């Protein structure tokens, strides 16, 4: 699948709806293993993304992805803001020469790993981005695969981010950033159909 300007706008609108509808749930997930702000952080960031699309009217894919990145970096705060921001910035950079969704998501994943130092199995959003990158590359991304990747974070012990302070006590809780990343890719699958 190729990412386009039109698809990106629809994708972000749909993601914003999911974040807004689930912001209390995301902050609740962040309470036992974090500081309880993930839903509010993401909701603030996505509201800024939609406002920026409205006021700046990006004319091409690269500008749109850059605008998403900048809005998230400046408004989300916490760990997730710079990490989501880096993901969209890497997609923006590559999108000037390559619009293939698998390549874009893979570049984003590399950016998240480099920026946050997390690997697969560390109970972070990397666990969802990695599964999605592989599935897109293989051409078989489904909603079930995304959901499975999100659920798999429950039994992991956090090695990065705030949840890692809890060590073994982080086991048994879903990772909030993986849940929000799950919404991101469910939103993409819905608009890409």
Backbone angles phi, psi at 100, to 5 degrees: -70, 125
Nearest alpha-carbon partner for 103 in 113, 112, 94 = 94
Q: Does 90 bind ligand ADP (CB under 6 A)?
A: no
30 touches Mg ion by CB under 5 A: yes
For 171, counting Cβ atoms within 10 Å of its Cβ (0-12 exposed, 13-18 middle, 19+ buried), the class is middle
Distance between alpha carbon 64 and the CA centroid of its chain, in Å? 16
Residue with tokens 């993304």: 49
Among 43, 136, 178, 182, binds ligand ADP (CB under 6 A): 178
Name which of ligand ADP, Mg ion, none residue 111 binds, using a CB cut-off of 5 to 8 Å depending on partner kind: none
Q: Write down the least CB distance from residue 161 to Mg ion, Å.
A: 8
Residue numbers 60-89 binding ligand ADP by CB under 6 A: 78-80, 83
What would the DSSP string read from start to end of 26-73? HHHHHHHHS-S-HHHHHHHHHHHHHHHHHHH---SHHHHHHHHHHHHH
Among 117, 119, 154, 165, interactor with ligand ADP by CB under 6 A: 117
Given the rule CB under 5 A, which of 16-24, 30-38, 49-57, 120-128 is the region that contacts Mg ion? 30-38
Residues that bind Mg ion (CB under 5 A): 30, 34-35, 37-38
- Which positions lie near ligand ADP, rule CB under 6 A? 30, 34-35, 37-38, 41, 78-80, 83, 112, 116-118, 124-126, 160-162, 175-178
């Amino acid at each position: 699948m190729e990412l386009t300007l039109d698809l990106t706008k629809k994708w972000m609108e749909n993601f914003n709806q999911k974040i807004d509808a689930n912001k209390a749930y995301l902050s609740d997930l962040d309470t036992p293993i974090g500081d309880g702000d993930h839903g509010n952080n993401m909701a603030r960031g996505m509201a800024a993304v939609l406002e920026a699309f409205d006021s700046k009217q990006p004319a091409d894919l690269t500008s749109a992805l850059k605008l998403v990145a900048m809005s998230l970096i400046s408004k989300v705060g916490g760990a997730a803001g710079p990490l989501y921001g880096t993901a969209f910035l890497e997609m923006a950079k590559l999108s000037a020469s390559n619009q293939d969704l698998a390549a874009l998501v893979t570049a984003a994943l590399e950016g998240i790993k480099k920026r946050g130092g997390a690997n697969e199995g560390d109970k972070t959003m990397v666990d969802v981005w990695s599964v999605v990158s592989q599935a897109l590359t293989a051409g078989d991304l489904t909603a079930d695969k995304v959901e499975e990747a999100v659920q798999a974070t429950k039994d992991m012990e956090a090695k990065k981010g705030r949840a890692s302070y809890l060590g073994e006590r982080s086991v048994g809780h879903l990772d909030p950033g993986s849940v929000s990343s799950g919404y991101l890719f469910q939103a993409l699958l819905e608009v890409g159909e």
